[in-house]
Chain A
Amino acid sequence: MSIDHRKFSRRGVLAGTAAGALYLGAPSIIRAQTQSLKIAVLMPQSGYLAQAGQSCHRGALVSASVLAELGHKVELIHVDIESNPDVSRTQAERAINEGAQCIIGAFDSACTLAIAQVCEQRQVPLIVNIGAAPQLTEQGYKFLVRNFPTGGMLVSNGLKQIQALIDATKITPKTAVFLHANDNFGMAQRQGMDKVFPTSGLPFKLLESIPYDPKAQDLSVEVTRIRGLNPDLLLVVTRAADAIKLVRDIVRQKFQPMGIISPGAPGLYDEEFYKALGPLADYHIDAIPWANPKSKVTQTLEAAFKKEQPNFRFAVECFNVGFTFDALLIAADAFKRAGTATGPELMKALKATNLTDHAMIGPPIKFNDKGQNVDIPSSCVQNRAQTPTVVLPADVATMTPVLPEPPWQGRT
Chain B
Amino acid sequence: MTAITLNVIVQGLLTGLVYGLMALGLSVIFGVMRVVNFAHGEFTVVAMYAAFVLFEGLHLDPLIALLPIAAVFFGIGYLLQRTLINPFVGRAEHEQFILLVGLATVIVNGLLLVFGPDARPINLSYSFDSYAVGSMFLDKVRVFAAIGALAVAAALLLFFRYTRTGTAIRACADNLTGAAVVGLDVKQLYAVTFGLGLACVGAAGTLMATIADASPSLAQAYTLLAFTIVIIGGLGSMVGALIGGILIGVSEALAGFYIQPSMKSMFSFALLIIVLVLRPQGLMGRRL
User: Interface of A with B (CB < 8 Å)?
Assistant: 48, 50-51, 182, 210-213, 215-222, 224-225, 227-228, 241, 244-245, 248-249, 251-254, 272, 276, 278, 280, 408, 412
Cα(A320)–Cα(B259), bound, Å = 37
B211 proximal to A (CB < 8 A)? yes
In the bound complex, CA of A217 to CA of B213 (Å): 7
Residue interface mask B1-22, A partner, CB < 8 A = 1:
0001001100110010000000
- Bound state CA distance, A227 and B121, in angstroms? 24
Chain B residues contacting A50 (CB-CB under 8 Å) are 117
A221–B256 touching, CB < 8 Å: yes
Complex A-B: 7 CB contacts under 8 Å: A211-B262, A221-B261, A224-B257, A244-B119, A248-B127, A253-B137, A276-B123
Are B4 and A224 in contact (CB-based, < 8 A)?
A: yes
Tell me whether A211 and B260 are in contact in the complex, defined as CB-CB below 8 angstroms, given that A244-B119, A253-B130 are known contacts.
yes
- Residue B221 at the chain A interface, CB threshold 8 Å: yes
Most B C-beta atoms less than 10 A away, residue of A210, A252, A412 = A252
State whether B261 touches A241 (Cβ < 8 A): no
A408 to B265, CA, bound (A): 31
Residues of B within 8 A of A (CB): 4, 7-8, 11-12, 15, 117-119, 121, 123, 127-130, 132, 137, 139, 211-213, 215, 217-218, 221, 252-253, 256-257, 260-262, 264-265
- Find chain B residues with CB under 8 A from A211 CB: 260-262
Kindly state the separation between the CA atoms of A219 and B260 in the bound complex, as whole angstroms. 12
Contact A225–B211 (Cβ < 8 Å): no
- What 16 new A-B contacts, CB under 8 Å, besides A217-B221, A253-B137, A254-B132? A211-B260, A212-B262, A213-B264, A213-B265, A217-B211, A217-B212, A220-B253, A221-B257, A225-B257, A241-B215, A244-B121, A251-B128, A254-B130, A276-B121, A276-B123, A278-B123
Q: Which A residues touch B256, using CB under 8 A?
A: 221-222, 225
- A215-B217, A220-B139, A225-B261 given; A241·B119 CB < 8 A: yes
Q: B261 → chain A, closest Cβ, in Å?
A: 4
Known: A213-B261, A220-B139, A225-B261. A51 touches B117 (CB 8 A): yes
A252 contact set on B, CB distance < 8 A:
128-130, 137, 139
- Inter-chain CA distance A51–B119, complex, in Å, is 12
Q: Please give, as numbers and ranges, the residues of chain B lying within 8 Å of A218 by CB-CB distance.
A: 15, 211-212
**Which residue on chain A has the smallest CB distance to residue B8?**
A224
Are A272 and B4 in touch, CB under 8 angstroms?
no
Taking the nearest CB of chain A, how far is it from the CB of B18, in angstroms? 11
Write the nearest CB–CB distance from A275 to chain B, whole angstroms: 9
Chain B residues whose C-beta falls within 8 Å of the C-beta of A212 in the assembled complex:
261-262
- CA of A222 to CA of B263 in the docked complex: distance in angstroms? 11
Complex interface: chain B residues within 8 A of A244 (CB): 119, 121, 213
Assess the A51–B118 pair: CB atoms within 8 A.
Answer: yes
Task: Give the chain A neighbours of B257 by CB distance below 8 A.
Answer: 221, 224-225
CA distance A210 to B257 in the complex (A): 10
Q: Shortest distance in angstroms between B79's beta carbon and chain A's nearest beta carbon?
A: 30
State in angstroms the CA–CA spacing of A253 and B119 once bound together.
22
* B88 CB to nearest A CB, Å: 31
Complex interface: chain A residues within 8 A of B218 (CB): 217
Residue of A224, A244, A248 most packed against chain B (CB within 10 A): A224
Smallest beta-carbon distance A66→chain B, Å: 28
Q: Specify which chain B residues have a CB less than 8 angstroms from the CB of A48 in the assembled complex.
A: 117
Provide the bound-state CA to CA distance between A249 and B213, in Å. Answer: 13
- By a CB distance below 8 angstroms, the chain A residues around B119 are 241, 244, 272
Q: How far is the CB of B223 from chain A (nearest CB, A)?
A: 14
Q: Give CA–CA (A192, B67) in the complex, Å.
A: 50
- CB B51 to nearest CB in A, in angstroms, measures 15
* Known pairs A51-B118, A212-B262; A248 contacts B4 (CB<8 A): no
